[in-house]
Amino acid sequence: MAESAKVFKYSLSEIMVDKELSNYTCSICFDIIENKEVYQCKEGHWNCRQCWVESLSKKKECMTCRTQVNSISELSRNRFLEQEFDSKKVYCPNSFKISPDSNDYTQPLLIRDEIKGCNKIISINEIDQHLSECTFKCKFSKYNKLLDRIKEMETTIQKQQSVINKSKSSSSLSSSSSSSSSSSSSLESSSALNTTRASLSAEQRLNDLSDKLSLLLSQQKQPKYKNKWIIQNYSTISKTKTIGKSIRSPIFETSGKEFEVAIFPNGFGSAQKGFLSFFLYLKSLNTPIVVSYSLIILNPKNTNKNFIHSSQQVFSSTSSGWGKSKSLKISEITKEEGWLSADDKLVVEISVEVVSFNGPLESLK
């Protein structure tokens, strides 16, 4: 999940004080000359550099007056126009908010936020500098969080869908009638989602996606992840892990989410001195999810002594790890007490189930 999330970005034409931009619009591509070099023929007909390059590759002339132009080096750069554009006034981007009338979450409408926004008017070439010191920071961070969550949920849905498709194509003999009917209904809801997509606002989209995901999860009952994590040479390794140092399990995945378990053989912090701490961590962050899990340190000698920690928690970017900071007494983790096998292994049984992808939306408000 290393791909960078889509981030909302205002467009310059939206934040300009004077919206009359025809003097700064390239007559070929119709873009404003933001971050563009402007070149002109000797008669003063100007276009952006890229448009000149393209048109000269087809015909060696100015497309307005047809004066011969053999190469771009025969043109002159119009820095005056570029600088004039750069000195145009804009409202600080943090003086806007997203209009509640926006009906396309990928291109939201901006309106001035006269009450809570920044009231600075600056020139285009001062935007970066001003944003670095503007005290009305991160006006769109909530919106970007929403976009992040939409994107992550779309990825998870794609994964779920491919799991369903795989199981559908590979196990036609064993699949029960109920699972095949649920697969077809999930495909229908997916196309319905696409057609209405453009008219959904970001939050509606998110709600829609999380409903769809719950539906998919209930249809395609992802088996709970269950496995044993065997730590070899435990007593040797644990000696090398001082307070706050951990042994990490391999990363595992369930319902499109990645997890790992960490054991702190000498405690998570000094407050847990003398005790083993262990935690389950969510590795894929951003969307709060509800996870039901259990971590069991097995005692092969006497299963009644198995140390069981099980719980249901919300895992999110701000609380990505849950577990037990004080579990077994370190002095008891010996072969004699039965926690370590004769060949010095410690075994942790891990069960993890994502029970809801519908994390609390209120946290964004």
Q: Which of 43/84 has CB closer to Zn ion?
A: 43
| Rounded least distance, CB 131 to Zn ion, Å | 7
Q: Which is nearer to Zn ion, 57 or 331 (CB)?
A: 57
Give whichever of 37 and 349 is closer to Zn ion, judged by the CB atom: 37
310 three-class SS = strand
Nearer to Zn ion, 55 or 227 (CB): 55
Nearest-approach distance from CB 137 to Zn ion, in angstroms: 9
* 15 CB neighbour count, 10 Å cutoff: 21
Task: Write out the two tokens for 70.
Answer: 């053999």
Instruction: Give me the least distance between CB of 69 and Zn ion, in Å please.
Output: 8
| Contact between residue 222 and residue 163 where contact means Cβ atoms under 8 Å apart | yes
Which helix (H) or strand (E) element contains residue 261? strand 257-264
Do residues 300 and 334 make contact, with C-beta atoms less than 8 angstroms apart? no
Rounded-to-integer distance, Cα 157 and Cα 359, Å: 15
For residue 42, give both structure tokens: 């000797």
Between 30 and 194, name the residue whose CB sits nearer to Zn ion: 30
Min CB(88)–Zn ion separation in Å: 17
Least Å distance between CB 183 and Zn ion?
Answer: 49
Q: Which is nearer to Zn ion, 92 or 164 (CB)?
A: 92
CA-to-CA distance for 236 and 10, rounded, in angstroms?
A: 56
Query: What's the length of the chain?
Result: 365
Between CA 60 and CA 54 the distance in angstroms is 10
> Which tokens sit at 265?
């053989």
- Residue (77 or 224) nearer to Zn ion, CB: 77
In the complex, which residues of this chain contact Zn ion (CB under 5 A)?
A: 26, 28-29, 41, 43, 45, 48, 51, 62, 64-65, 92, 94, 118, 120, 134
Phi-psi region at 110: left, alpha or beta (left = phi > 0; alpha = psi -120 to 50): beta
Nearest approach, Cβ of residue 270 and Zn ion (Å): 44
Minimum CB distance to Zn ion, residue 72 (Å):
13
DSSP of 201-261, one letter per residue? -HHHHHHHHHHHHHHHHHHS-PPPEEEEEEETTHHHHHHH--TT--EEPPPEEETTEEEEE
